[in-house]
Amino acid sequence: MKGYILSALITLAATAMLHAQQLPEKPEDISPLLIGETMPNSELAALDGKTISFHDIAKEKPTVLIVYRGGWCPYCNRHLAAIGQSEAEILELGYQIVAISPDKAEKLRETAEKDSIRYRLFSDGDGAFAKAAGLAFQAPQRYGERLLDWSGGKNTDGYLPVPAIFVLDRDAAIQFEYINPDYKKRLPSEILLAVLKALQAAED
């Protein structure tokens, strides 16, 4: 019996190590989903703490999806605010805006208040969504404590998502994506609006 328990513990430890090793070490090494593929149906936490599947969110309306590093990142905050300034035009084109990060609900609320965000923010604390979308990588060790704190203890892998913008249809299929391993470079809102208009024109 002791031998069986020891064997089981070794197997669990090996599985955990393999899981950790599966995260790319650098943002340049990620393998994100491509145009035409479908975003994962992971469970996300809303500001009220309730969970909802991503596909239930996406089926409400065509979606502009923002994946960002966290409310502690000034580049993310500026980008979230910039998209927010174009929200009325995006909504008029028939899209909803959704943003996902590792942040827990409390931190999401702080970000929404600080940056005057009216669109919905969701938590992917354990990284299930980012990993399934191929956006997660192993954050440098200096981020570890911060990521664990901001995720409410869920980001035990110390993952970070590469910032990205996706345009999705109601089936969560990717129609457009912008993903840049350099977190300082973000898609300008005017280019996003041009993309949305071009997608609409292609459907007409």
In a domain, 109, yes or no: yes
One-letter amino acid for residue 13 of the chain:
A
Whether residue 20 lies inside any domain: the answer is no
Q: Kind and range of the H or E element at 109?
A: helix 105-114
Kindly state whether residue 16 falls inside one of the protein's structural domains: no
- Going from the C-alpha of 104 to that of each of 18, 34, 56, 71, 127, the distances in angstroms are 26, 28, 20, 10, 12
Does the residue 182 lie in any domain?
yes
Residue 31 maps to a domain: yes
Determine phi and psi for 99, rounding to 5 degrees.
Answer: -125, 140
**What is the pLDDT, as a whole number, of residue 7?**
44
In this structure, what CATH number is given to the domain that contains residue 161? Answer: 3.40.30.10
User: Over the stretch 78-121, which tens digit does the pLDDT of each residue have?
Assistant: 999 999 999 999 999 999 999 999 999 999 999 999 888 999 99
Output the CA–CA distances (angstroms, integers) from residue 7 to 1, 13, 195, in the order listed: 10, 10, 54
- Count structural domains, the chain: 1
Average pLDDT, the chain: 91
In a domain, 131, yes or no: yes
Residue 170 lies in a domain: yes
| Res. 10: pLDDT tops 50 | no
In-domain check, residue 2 = no
Parent domain of 194? 25-203
